[in-house]
Homo-oligomer: A and B are copies of this chain.
Amino acid sequence: MQIVLLGSGNVATHLGRSLKLSGIDIVQVWSRNHNHARQLADMLAAKAVKKTAEITTLADIYLIAVADDAIANVAQSIPAVNKFFVHTSGSTGLDALTPYTSEAGVLYPLQTFLKNKAVDLRQVPVAIEATTEKRLAVLRSVAERLTEKVISIDPEQRLALHLSAVFACNFTNHLYAIARQLLEQHHLSFDLLKPLISETAARVMDHSPADVQTGPAVRGDKNILARHTAFLQHEPRLQEIYEKLSQSIANLHHKAGRL
């Protein structure tokens, strides 16, 4: 099994490392940024190629781990004909690849990566999808070398998965950023919130989130809600987020009417 890796960002780096560690041969690395490609290729004992024309036409998988809006462009520039092209995006369809090959797939790891922070992929779910059953089986055999948690999904499910990850990860991180900003405006350290953040995440490992909802909105405590809203009067962006999320909590928990 020989893989060409296209991309050198966080996903390319983490997938490349994990594939190499699992014994899969990364033969070439290409990236728009050739210096990054060389660094990653060195790490993977692969060859960095500068021009897409130099990409081998003989690999089993062309793994395209680049920004979503660059996927089609990269696929278009690979010289191989009707080989297996695979992207790693949660929200891009197979149709970003199928104009350039009849054999397309997705390998979507459900994790958020920082370039310099090691992540143990074995506990990370990897969702796979392919144009044919045969290709899906190939992708499954690759994914199972990375993780114990491989699921085969359809395009609609992949979009739902990505969207749910945006809510649970990207938006959550933004709420942490808002909290930090509020604290610093009042000369308080973000460290104060860390035990609470850890506990809130830990709790949903063995409880349904709706069952452990706390706070003024789920209690319907209009007094506190009004106090918080007034406190944010000079921050209309935060005030609006506060109101929308409080209302959404009330709706989910079947409190009647508006807060």
Contacts and interface: CB of A to CB of B under 8 A. Distances in A.
A207 B112 CA distance: 14
A166 to B, nearest CB: 6
Interface in A182-240: 182-183, 185-188, 190-205, 207-210, 212-219, 221, 223-224, 227-228, 231-232, 237-238, 240
B168 A213 contact: no
Interface stretch (A51-59, A129-137, A150-158): A150-158
Q: Quickly give the copy total for this chain.
A: 2
Interface stretch (A17-25, A42-50, A74-82, A117-125): A117-125
A161 interface: yes
A165 B196 contact: yes
**Contact-residue bracket for chain A:** 35 or more
A193 B174 contact: no
A178 interface: yes
A170 interface: yes
A167 B232 CA distance: 12
Contacts of A191: 125
A46 B141 CA distance: 62
A244 B238 CA distance: 10
A188 to B, nearest CB: 6
A1 interface: no
Contact of A195 (B125, B208, B228, B244): B125
Considering the complex of A and B, which 5 residue pairs feature the smallest CB-CB distances, nearest first?
A: A170-B215, A201-B201, A176-B209, A177-B209, A168-B179
